[in-house]
Structure 1
Amino acid sequence: MSDELPALPWERSRRRTAPARIPLTRDRIVDAAYVVLDREGYEKLGMRQVAAELGVAVSALYSHVSSKDELFELMYVRMFDDWSLPEPDPEHWREQVADYARAGRARLHKHRDLARISMGSIPFGPETLPHMDKILGLFRAGGLPDRVAGAAGDVISTFIDGFALEESMWETRRRESGKNSWAEMRETLERYFEELPPDRFPHLVALSNTMFENSNDDRFDLGIEIIIRGLASFAEEAEAGRSSGRSAPEDERS
């Protein structure tokens, strides 16, 4: 016979209170979206997957986020959290632009496929406008004509996004190919180009070592240097025109 006593009569009717749920917020939704993105990738990220990650009904998300597009926008904006840019310095604008590019790539590396979200986003929301304005200030501080300065931000951002996306895609290919590292993958590609017939592909064969000898960091830095030197040539040309007294076209004046 059990020694356990029955519950008191007045306790039997008491309601069992469920543990309090953590309120659903935009921040929690974005956090969960990043978890899904890192685990499943861009193609499988959707409102249903985020709701499942949070343990809520899909309809609950729509009280905070209107659509998948808005979710992507919120994820993109999150990338700019705590990202401060220095005041434009005319003497060091090239270094500042290079530092900005490296920082952007590093932030895209924090999450799988984030570059795909970045490439499809328009950085003109209230949270990102101050950031964009400061970047344009870097180019103007370097003496770039307004026409070039206005386009330079898009050129740099496209390079950063494209480079990070390529890295992500090659990492996926590396895993699928069974290669243990990018270095091993690079050696395979290098051997392939070296074995091409030089009479048909003289330049590919001649440059095969050069194309694959550098790390991704080195390749990225070289790409940014090529872009910055190209931008600087516009500033030098504008300065030469001012020194000679030749006026620049209206749309190129800084």
Structure 2
Amino acid sequence: MTDAAADTPPTPPPSPWDRKRPARSHGAPAREPLSRERIVEAAFTVLDRQGLDGLSMRQVAAELGVTVSALYAHVSSKDDLLELMYTRLFDGFTMPAPDPERWQEQVREYAHWGRRRLLEHRDMARISMAHVPFTAELLPHVEALLAMFRTAGLPDRIAAEAGDLISTYIDGFVLEEGMWRDRVARQGGDDAAPDRPDVSGMAEQMQEYFASLPAEDFPHLRAVAGLMVTDSSDDRFDIGLEIILRGLASYLPDERGER
């Protein structure tokens, strides 16, 4: 130990009023920079909480704790934001290579995936119905769906309409599910918002009503009363999809090459 070190006074212990103080900060933590990804995530949060009618640029900005003008450095308008949200649905999804022996199964898988993705967010079906998938990001999906139909042997006129038909069916079905979900939520309070609409009670009432109709005036309604209204959205979706697929299959050429 040197003489200089010996002459240095020892560091005093912390005073009692210093011991409970937090460590001195070296500056406030940097705020995460604003980006399109953060804006889209915030928009989904607002959408799930307030629905499409309550989604606004002002609400998204409030969710992020920024000014509305800050959003416009990354998105040009609310329509631009909705398009980004729609495009986000397809993140991580890859269309399979077309297989003419499995084309119906592939379309079923695509339809089930589409319904699941739309059901992940409130009112997403409404956003989907308002946007066509002909953007640069989504054109490969459109191309792959057309390849699926044309490789199976469907005539070009039918293949050109089939993709839109499937998409419209998915959107419309999920839109109806969302409307029933909102109706159940309104009737049961803010906390009653099931992922799938619970219509079992209404289904039973409608079945009983149909069965009570005069047989001479409504023979067919009475005959299918137990089948017209079911409490399983999954079953209804699958049956409707099967009707569409069988209709498309009827356009395939037979062994003689006739349609």
Question: Is TM-score (shorter-chain normalized) higher than 0.5?
Answer: yes
- Structure with higher Rg: it is 2
Residue 77 (structure 1) aligned with residue 94 (structure 2): no
With the length of structure 1 as denominator, give the TM-score of the two structures.
Answer: 0.84
1:227-238 matches, cutoff 5 A? 227-236=244-253
Partners in 2 of 1:144 and 1:47 — Cα distance? Answer: 44
For structure 1, which segment, 196-205 or 164-173, has the greater mean C-alpha deviation from structure 2 after superposition?
A: 196-205
The structural deviation recorded for 1:86 is 1.0
Partners in 2 of 1:164 and 1:64 — Cα distance? Answer: 30
Runs (4+) of structure 1 exceeding 6 A deviation are none
- Aligned CA-pair RMSD: 2.3
* Aligned match of 1:8: none
With the length of structure 2 as denominator, give the TM-score of the two structures.
Answer: 0.82
Residue 193 (structure 1) aligned with residue 210 (structure 2): yes
* SS of residue in 1 equivalent to 2:40: helix
Kindly tell me: are residues 58 and 91 of structure 1, through their superposed partners in 2, closer, same or farther at Cα, counting changes over 3 Å? Answer: same
Q: Unaligned regions of 5+ residues in structure 2, if any? A: 1-15, 19-25
Kindly tell me: are residues 197 and 170 of structure 1, through their superposed partners in 2, closer, same or farther at Cα, counting changes over 3 Å? Answer: farther
CA contact (8 A) 1:142 1:232 kept: no
Kindly tell me: are residues 37 and 102 of structure 1, through their superposed partners in 2, closer, same or farther at Cα, counting changes over 3 Å? Answer: same
Please state which structure has a larger fraction of its residues in helix. Answer: 1
Partners in 2 of 1:125 and 1:162 — Cα distance? Answer: 22
Kindly tell me: are residues 4 and 217 of structure 1, through their superposed partners in 2, closer, same or farther at Cα, counting changes over 3 Å? Answer: closer
Q: 2:233 aligns with which of 183, 196, 216?
A: 216
Residue 46 (structure 1) aligned with residue 74 (structure 2): no
Q: What number of residue pairs does the alignment pair up?
A: 231
Partners in 2 of 1:37 and 1:191 — Cα distance? Answer: 37
Letter in 1 for 2:257: R
Does 1 or 2 have the higher relative contact order (CA < 8 Å, sep 6+)?
1
* Aligned match of 2:4: none
Letter in 2 for 1:93: W
CA contact (8 A) 1:112 1:168 kept: yes
* SS of residue in 1 equivalent to 2:131: coil
Partners in 1 of 2:29 and 2:230 — Cα distance? Answer: 58
* Aligned match of 2:45: 35
Q: 2:122 aligns with which of 112, 123, 133?
A: 112
Letter in 1 for 2:246: R
Letter in 2 for 1:204: L
CA contact (8 A) 1:85 1:134 kept: yes
CA contact (8 A) 1:174 1:185 kept: no
For structure 1, which segment, 169-178 or 74-83, has the greater mean C-alpha deviation from structure 2 after superposition?
A: 169-178
1:1-254 matches, cutoff 5 A? 17-178=27-188, 181-213=198-230, 215-236=232-253, 239=254, 242=257
Kindly tell me: are residues 230 and 27 of structure 1, through their superposed partners in 2, closer, same or farther at Cα, counting changes over 3 Å? Answer: same
